[in-house]
Structure 1
Amino acid sequence: MGLGKLFHDHAEHADGGGTIDRPRVYEIFVTIAYLGGRRAAFTRAATLGRARAGDRVLDVGCGTGYLSRVLAPVVTPTGHVTGLDPSPAMVEYARRRAPGNCDYVVGEGQDLPFPDASFDLVVSSLAVHHIPAGARAAAMSEMFRVLRPGGRLLIVEFRPPSGHLARHVIGLFTGPAMLHSPAELLGTLIPDAGFRVESEGGLPSLMYHVRAVRPAEPAL
């Protein structure tokens, strides 16, 4: 049994999805793993989403709300960040730390409880690999649906190390779900959902991003 079972409440299956239900253990693990660089890594990732004052932002798979809290001051009090996660424990943890322009709801990426065109920006960090493989296409379609035309999508996923020893250590702590390459994990999910990909590539701290846009509707 991998040590990832300390905070994963699901079988260690690469495509089975699942939730993290021990937020404090997760926070300790992630803080140690980033060696003090977590804020810088997520700030750089968030910058790629090009959030602006007044934006309505949805954070899919928000976990403990870390990225949401990074984005909150960027959108200013005139904007709003909504975090969504399937784990009630993670949502409760995030709510207790939420700034005034953030709220959190329990839900799944493949069945978003929001109206069409509700958001200017949808972000998802280190969460797609937690969605069951068979539901990932539906999740991308849902993200497309809740974005306004011209709205932006930012997906950040884990980029496993290339060395065998490092991959083995990562697997012990996280299980096989995080050993996919980003290209293998995401495939053509994003363009297949209707998005136009603007940029993609590696980031520091073993992360990988894809930034895309929902094309504006043609003028009548």
Structure 2
Amino acid sequence: MELARFLHGRPDDRTAGITLTHGRAYEAFGTAFFAGRRRRVFARLAELSGARPGDHALDVGCGTGYLTRFMAAAVTPAGTVRGIDPSPDVLAHARRLSGRHPHCTYADGVAERLDAPDDTYDVVVSSLMIHHLPPDVRGRAVAEMLRVLRPGGRLLIADFRPPAHPVARHLVGALTGPAMEHNPVRLIAPLVRQTGFDEVTTGDLSPWIHHVRGVKPQGAA
């Protein structure tokens, strides 16, 4: 279970969730875990987000910034993307990997209390983060994503989809812990709808990703 503790981090008194540590090692694990398909999967997630050149985007729980950098490519030349995460170590690694990219910045922050005014962003994304939050906090995090989006703005949440085969699922649990073995990704879409998003759609990307998209209604507060 050492790997499980490594993947799911440590408690942080600023958030009901947990904070990842060891950014460099986490990045290496992410590369290995997708078995050569990580770039394809995250490039597709950036495409599915609907981000366009000139958009201002937010990546909630950005970790080492892997999706953030794909989003930065999608919004250039005039757009920006900001990654937020509560872990100083993973943010430091994200900044190292991003270099001096003029469209890509990072800041300390927690999902359930986003430090941004209402109606700030055109796109909000989050990948492999929401299972780190307790179930009773996930609604608050999604509500914050709704709040900071402009009317008509687009949401994409992607999270780990456990294998359907019970043996494979048990192996995932043995390696990473119950949070990923039993991750209830099918509950994300109903939560997004209940929070107030319209046009909610879902899909899967091989090997491990379930994604949910939504749109903030025009005229929504």
- TM score, norm. by length of structure 2: 0.90
- Report the alpha carbon displacement of residue 174 of structure 1 after superposing the two structures with TM: 2.2
Q: Which runs of 5+ in 1 are unaligned?
A: none
- Whole-angstrom CA distance in 2 between matches of 1:35 and 1:202: 17
- Whole-angstrom CA distance in 2 between matches of 1:78 and 1:142: 25
* More moved, 50-59 vs 85-94: 85-94
Work out whether residues 79 and 103 of structure 2, in 8 Å CA contact, stay in contact via their aligned partners in 1: yes
Given candidates 185, 188, 201, the residue that maps to 2:190 is 188
- Whole-angstrom CA distance in 2 between matches of 1:115 and 1:64: 24
Letter in 2 for 1:46: A
Q: Residue 46 of structure 2 corresponds to which residue in structure 1? A: 46
Work out whether residues 198 and 212 of structure 1, in 8 Å CA contact, stay in contact via their aligned partners in 2: yes
- Report the alpha carbon displacement of residue 8 of structure 1 after superposing the two structures with TM: 3.1
* More moved, 207-216 vs 166-175: 166-175
- Report the alpha carbon displacement of residue 188 of structure 1 after superposing the two structures with TM: 2.4
DSSP-derived class of the 1:97 partner: helix
- Report the alpha carbon displacement of residue 191 of structure 1 after superposing the two structures with TM: 1.2
- Whole-angstrom CA distance in 1 between matches of 2:186 and 2:40: 24
- Report the alpha carbon displacement of residue 2 of structure 1 after superposing the two structures with TM: 4.7
Let me know the Cα RMSD of the aligned residues.
1.7
- Deviation by residue 1:76-107 (Cα, 9 ceiling, x = unmatched): 03000000111111111112222221111111
Q: Which runs of 5+ in 2 are unaligned?
A: none
* More moved, 77-86 vs 129-138: 129-138
Work out whether residues 161 and 210 of structure 2, in 8 Å CA contact, stay in contact via their aligned partners in 1: yes
What is the percent sequence identity of the aligned residues? Answer: 46
Q: Residue 65 of structure 1 corresponds to which residue in structure 2? A: 65
- Report the alpha carbon displacement of residue 73 of structure 1 after superposing the two structures with TM: 1.4
Q: Residue 140 of structure 1 corresponds to which residue in structure 2? A: 142
- Deviation by residue 1:10-66 (Cα, 9 ceiling, x = unmatched): 38xxxx741211111111111111111110011112111111000000000100000
Q: Does 1:22 align with 2:1?
A: no
- Whole-angstrom CA distance in 1 between matches of 2:172 and 2:32: 13
Q: Does 1:9 align with 2:9?
A: yes
* Relative contact order, higher structure (CA 8 A, sep 6+): 1
- Whole-angstrom CA distance in 1 between matches of 2:192 and 2:200: 11
Letter in 2 for 1:83: G
Listed as ranges, the matches of 1:41-190 within 5 Å are: 41-98=41-98, 99-179=101-181, 180-184=183-187, 186=188, 188-190=190-192
Work out whether residues 116 and 148 of structure 1, in 8 Å CA contact, stay in contact via their aligned partners in 2: yes
DSSP-derived class of the 1:160 partner: coil
Work out whether residues 63 and 94 of structure 1, in 8 Å CA contact, stay in contact via their aligned partners in 2: yes
- Whole-angstrom CA distance in 1 between matches of 2:137 and 2:51: 27
